[in-house]
A and B are shown apart, each in its own frame.
Chain A
């Protein structure tokens, strides 16, 4: 639904990077690896939080 606030594994706050990551590598055409490096999301546990996330608010909101 919404991006998790923290990484499930290590507890690092990853939510704050979602919008920039989404804009640059999902909407844009930048390399996700480079974007994550630049955002300072170093560990792979935190990286998968952003890479594997899909926003579902738009999908479920019509059924409210």
Chain B
């Protein structure tokens, strides 16, 4: 792609970020969002073979819980569809089986969260199982959804219209997201989402900045935010190329 996009981070953590993208159409912004939710493949447990399960839950219930545990997903190209990684779990009661008890045969694929309780085992109960993790897309099953709570808003610009009449009481004006002030990005959390606190005694007007979107992205721990966003963009490119090839004469 020849066009360049301007990306600026507002907040940035390992699993959560807020960033501004300029110069994209609303359709493309939504395309990115949808790709992050449904089209970025992640690893998750898909098949479980039970050797012993004397817990209070049925095999299929435990298999579902194991499937929902996020697993770290290896770098792009490392795994392709139909590749599997085997994880095993063996816990004897009285104890609680945690996601951290899963032992993987691949260093790249590990439980991303170690403290998820799988099943509480009482005296004499035991859970021993072997599971196969596969790489799949979020549109096939929610357990493969790497992006969580992905959304975007327009960047807003504040314009001071006038001073308020001297004795008029100012009403609160709520806005959420990020506003632009002389080129500076200000998160609305800084003034409790209330413009009347930021501009006391002023009449202000808000307007959307065209083609500027502030994304809020979280991941389930399968990969970092950067990985998620770049992989989402890559899946769009892959599908666009596929379409181009398909319609070529």
Question: Residues of A with Cβ closer than 8 Å to B?
Answer: 1-3, 5-6, 10-13, 15-16, 18-19, 43, 55, 57-58, 60-61, 64
Q: Are B220 and A15 closer than 8 Å at their CB atoms?
A: no
Residues of B within 8 A of A19 (CB): 115, 117
Could you give, for residues 43-80 of chain B, a 1 whenever the CB lies within 8 Å of some chain A CB and a 0 otherwise? 00000000000101100010001001110000000000
A5-B65, A6-B142, A61-B56 given; A16·B116 CB < 8 A: yes
Besides A1-B56, A2-B120, A11-B145, 11 more A-B contacts (Cβ < 8 Å) are A2-B117, A5-B69, A6-B143, A10-B149, A11-B142, A11-B148, A13-B116, A15-B99, A57-B122, A60-B56, A64-B54
29 A-B pairs within 8 Å (CB atoms) are namely: A2-B57, A2-B65, A2-B118, A2-B119, A2-B120, A5-B65, A5-B68, A5-B69, A5-B116, A6-B68, A11-B145, A12-B148, A12-B220, A13-B68, A13-B69, A13-B112, A13-B113, A13-B116, A13-B220, A15-B99, A15-B113, A16-B99, A16-B115, A16-B116, A55-B120, A57-B122, A60-B56, A61-B56, A64-B122
A61 to B57, CA, bound (A): 10
For residue B1, give the distance in angstroms from its CB to the closest CB of chain A. 30
Number of B residues contacting the other chain (C-beta, 8 Å)?
Answer: 28
Residues of A within 8 A of B65 (CB): 2, 5
Residues of B within 8 A of A1 (CB): 56-57, 61
Q: Are A3 and B117 closer than 8 Å at their CB atoms?
A: yes
Question: Residues of B with Cβ closer than 8 Å to A?
Answer: 54, 56-57, 61, 65, 68-70, 99, 112-120, 122, 125, 142-143, 145, 148-149, 218, 220-221
A57 to B96, CA, bound (A): 11
Residues of B within 8 A of A5 (CB): 65, 68-69, 116
For residue A13, give the distance in angstroms from its CB to the closest CB of chain B. 5
Residues of B within 8 A of A15 (CB): 99, 113, 115-117
Other-chain residue from B118, B120, B149 in contact with A12 (beta carbon distance below 8 A): B149
Identity of the chain A residue whose Cβ is nearest the Cβ of B149 in the assembled complex: A10
A5 to B115, CA, bound (A): 10
Residues of B within 8 A of A57 (CB): 56, 119-120, 122
Q: Are B117 and A18 closer than 8 Å at their CB atoms?
A: yes
For residue B120, give the distance in angstroms from its CB to the closest CB of chain A. 4
Residues of A within 8 A of B99 (CB): 15-16
A55-B120, A61-B122 given; A10·B148 CB < 8 A: yes
Identity of the chain B residue whose Cβ is nearest the Cβ of A16 in the assembled complex: B115
